[in-house]
Amino acid sequence: MLYSSIVFLPLIGAILTGLFGKTIGARKSELITSTLVAISALLSWYVLLNVGWVNGKNDQVIVILKWLTSGALDLSWSIRVDTLTAVMLVVVNTVSAVVHFYSIGYMHNDPSRQRFFSYLSLFTFAMLMLVTSNNFLQLFFGWEGVGLASYLLIGFWHHKESANNAAIKAFIVNRVGDFGFALGIFCIFYFFGSLDFNTVFSNASDLVDKKINIFGYSISAISFICFLLFIGAMGKSAQFLLHTWLPDAMEGPTPVSALIHAATMVTAGVFLVARCSPLYELAPSVMSLIVFIGATTAIFAASVALVQNDIKKVIAYSTCSQLGYMFVALGVGAYQVGIFHLFTHAFFKALLFLGAGSVIHAMSNEQDMRHMGGLRKFIPKTYILMLVGTLALTGFGVPGLFGMAGFYSKDAIVEAAYVSSISIGSYAFTMLLVAALMTSFYSWRLIFMTFHGTPRASKEVMSHLHESPNIMLIPLIILVIGSILSGYAFYDSFIYAGFKEFWASSIFILKDNYILKELHDVSYLIKWSPTIMMIIGVTFAYYLYIRNPHIPQKIAKDQEVLYSFLLNKWYFDEIYNYIFVRPAVLVGKIFWKRGDENIINRFGPDGISKQVVKITKKIVQLQSGLIYHYAFSMIIGLTFIITFYIIVGRGS
């Protein structure tokens, strides 16, 4: 009952406001959905305490409803509760509740608020379905559900063409990933004869020596499955090559960016890999690929974030980069560290987004940082919130003493990459360190450009400048607390001494996987290295944007090639446009114009209907009204039948 209410309260809210929003009114819709999600969030914390520490009862499965039985396929709608799920429940519901309340303020002028809140709650429900599922199909249901909600919310302002395009782009790029994911699920059913987590995971070791033949290459079956699942994870978590949709998704309202495109949905890929740890542990080659993709994403996204001017785009690329960090952690076998970073990241990234939302709100929907500056004095509360978020993101802290949330989780990832025994570990370590420097730089650049210096906004905007209402600021306190304390408070249980008891059986690691112990025993230089990088980053940012604000433009002019390379996001959109989109459009045009219109329509519907009319006209002419014609037709008919009969002979 407890677990069911966590999952279904948001759905109830979504249905109520979605179907009856017009009758119950906007204000009530907001309150209903927000309250229901808030209750869900409180219950989630209770569950986490219970499952993680007090009770320690893992692996509970509550069956809600039989779904389908067909041959070997036997599926139920069920809720699986273990530590991994409980952590995700907390992340999803907490951020969702904050975002719901924040949106009451942020969206107060929008005429279709009911729809917005219904979508938000629907998203929450789908995400909860995803994290609580006990089989791959329900996971896929949630996976597609969040995809749908994301599509609806990115395109929420559907009168904006750019929003529609972004929504479609997000949907299509995710299709690539989902295709891989679906194939992975098919393979799992093919090899295991079941989609149930327990069955699949407990039989995983039988599959290690199994090979399958693909295009003449013999590949380990388990690696193939893991690879396909990872493709899905890449799409949803916007990893390198499939990342292009995430920055565009910022076209949606800012609370949506905070909830879906920073804290929850994009981490579904991380969750998927962690959930499937029993499979991934047996597929070392795919693990290396994950590390490579993760590290590359981290450095790539961070480098792009250096030069972006849109405040939301900077944070979006930052998210992309941080997701890369998480994947590196997963790839080196430190799943717990990856989930830990997911957990802390949710707080400070949501805080940053919502803070940015507050700035945008204050600046009358201005998003370009070049038109901001000096806002510190006008919106001091927002400034403090953003500051906390930035400190948490950049990993501010003193090793061995205290640090913000990101300090614990991000530094642990860097250390894990360092101690990792896989060959690509050193590449990852280097990339992550450089990315840490860049993270610090672009984060502070954002703060400095927005809040410091002289105001660059127009007089009109400045006159409207106002601090956000309390309904937007108070919920953020939860995120502030999370950003400051979540690292310090949960460090021990998540990844240090108590991790075995805490995670119990929810995450599987091989017996010879000691990475979680080893990463704490690195030398001081390594322990300090992320912090040093962070300090260098801040210094650069301070030097360039506070002391000598004219230098960045000069650098941009001197290094024009590099600058435009980064500004244009490594030209990924252009390359994809050239390689995929244009050929696809061309092929589509051929099928549409030549295939559909010229062949199918011409000989199909249009042609047939024309022929029918022609035949009809001819036959109607036969009906002359003259009796001898009629008699003649009878005789001809009789003759025909007899002739047919004699020539063709007996029938069947």
Partner 1 sequence: MNLLIFTPVLPEIAITIVSMFLLIIGVFKKNEKTYSTISNLAILSLLVVLFLIFSGSVPKGVSFGGSLITDSFSLYLKTLILTSSIIILIVSNIYLRNINLLKFEYIILVLLSVVGMMIMVSSNDLISLYLSIELQSLPLYVLASIRNKSSKSTESGLKYFVLGALSSCILLYGLSLIYGYTGSIYYNEIASNLSEYDVGILIGVAFTLAGFAFKISAVPFHMWTPDVYEGSPTTVTAFFAVAPKIAALGLIVRILITAMPNLIADWQSILILLSIFSMLLGAFSAIGQRNLKRLLAYSSISHMGFALMGVINGSFDGVRSLSLYMLIYLVMSLALFISIIALKTNDEHIENIEDISGLAKINPVMALIISILLFSLAGIPPLAGFFAKFYVLYAAIDAKLYYLAIFGVLSSVISAFYYLRIIKVMYFEESAISFDPISKRLKTIIYLLTAITLLFFLRPSIFINFAGTASASLFI
Question: Rule CB under 8 A: which residues touch partner 1?
Answer: 612-613, 615-617, 619-620, 622-623, 625, 627, 629-631, 633-634, 636-638, 640-642, 644-646, 648, 650-652
Strand partners, 78: 63
Q: Which is nearer to partner 1, 571 or 644 (CB)?
A: 644
List CB contacts of 346: < 8 A, sequence separation 6 or more: 91, 94, 95, 262, 263, 264, 267, 482
Q: Residue 505 contacts by C-beta under 8 Å, 6 or more apart in sequence?
A: 58, 59, 82
In the complex, minimum distance from the CB of residue 595 to partner 1, in angstroms, rounded to a whole number: 23
CB of 596 to partner 1, least distance (A): 21
| Residue 617: CB minimum distance to partner 1, A | 6
The tokens for 485 are 């304390």
Nearer to partner 1, 218 or 652 (CB): 652
Choice between 380 and 605, CB closer to partner 1: 605
Token pair 């952590």: residue: 87
Please tell me the distance from the alpha carbon of residue 212 to that of residue 220, in angstroms, as a whole number: 6
Q: Please give the full DSSP string across 139-181, using - where no structure is assigned.
A: HHHHHHHHHHHHHHHHTSSTTSHHHHHHHHHHHHHHHHHHHHH
Please say which residue, 532 or 608, places its beta carbon nearer to partner 1. 608
CA neighbor of 325 nearest in space, from 280, 348, 294: 294
Q: State in angstroms the smallest separation of the CB of 627 from partner 1.
A: 5
Nearer to partner 1, 546 or 612 (CB): 612
CB of 206 to partner 1, least distance (A): 47
Q: DSSP readout, 494-562?
A: HHSTTHHHHHTTSS---TT--HHHHGGG--HHHHHHHHHHHHHHHHHHHIIIII-TTHHHHHHHHTHHH
Nearer to partner 1, 56 or 605 (CB): 605
Shortest Cβ distance from residue 624 to partner 1 (Å)? 9
Distance (Å, whole) CA 648 – CA 247:
72
- Give me the amino acid identity at 384: I
d(CA 427, CA 411): 16
Nearest-angstrom CA–CA distance, 148 and 190 = 27
Please, what is the minimum distance in Å from the beta carbon of residue 599 to partner 1?
A: 21
Long-range contacts of 206-214 (CB under 8 A, 24+ apart): 207/282, 208/282
> Smallest distance from the beta carbon of 48 to partner 1, in angstroms?
53
Closer CB to partner 1, residue 216 or residue 625? 625
Q: What is the enclosing helix (H) or strand (E) of 275?
A: helix 268-275
Nearer to partner 1, 497 or 638 (CB): 638
68 vs 648, which CB is nearer to partner 1?
A: 648
Which is nearer to partner 1, 590 or 634 (by Cβ)?
634
In angstroms, give the least distance from the CB of 156 to partner 1: 36
- Smallest gap from Cβ 648 to partner 1, in A, equals 7
Q: What is the C-alpha to C-alpha distance for residues 579 and 585, in angstroms, rounded to an integer?
A: 11
At its nearest, how many Å lie between partner 1 and the CB of residue 639? 10
- Complex with partner 1: residue 54 or 636, whichever CB lies closer: 636
Residue with Cβ nearer partner 1 (2 or 641): 641
Find, among 296, 382, 343, 391, the residue nearest to 93 by Cα.
343
Token pair of 155 as six digits: 């395109």
Angstrom distance (rounded) from CA 246 to CA 255: 15
SS3 365: coil
- Closest approach of partner 1 to the CB of residue 646, in Å: 8
Alpha-carbon dihedral 22, 24, 27, 31, rounded to 10 degrees: -120
Shortest distance (Å) from residue 650 CB to partner 1:
5
The least CB distance from residue 607 to partner 1, in Å, is: 14
Please say which residue, 401 or 619, places its beta carbon nearer to partner 1: 619
Q: How far is the CB of 600 from partner 1 (least distance, A)?
A: 17
Closest contact distance (angstroms) between CB of 264 and partner 1 is: 45
Rounded CA-CA distance 579/173 in Å is 14
Tokens of 249: 């998704």
Q: Which residue, 459 or 650, has its beta carbon nearer to partner 1?
A: 650
Q: Residue 248 corresponds to which tokens in the numbers above?
A: 């565009």
Give whichever of 111 and 651 is closer to partner 1, judged by the CB atom: 651
Q: Which two tokens stand for residue 583?
A: 């050929």
Distance CA 95, CA 600 (A): 51
Judged by beta carbon, residue 426 or residue 633, the one nearer partner 1 is 633
CA 402, 405, 407, 410 dihedral sign is positive
Q: Are 465 and 451 in contact (CB under 8 A)?
A: no
Distance, first Cα to last Cα, the chain: 67
Q: What are phi and psi of 473, to 5 degrees?
A: -90, -40
- CA distances (Å), 359 to each of 96, 277, 355, 446, 465, in order? 20, 40, 6, 12, 9
Best CA proximity match to 13, nearest among 34, 39, 27: 34
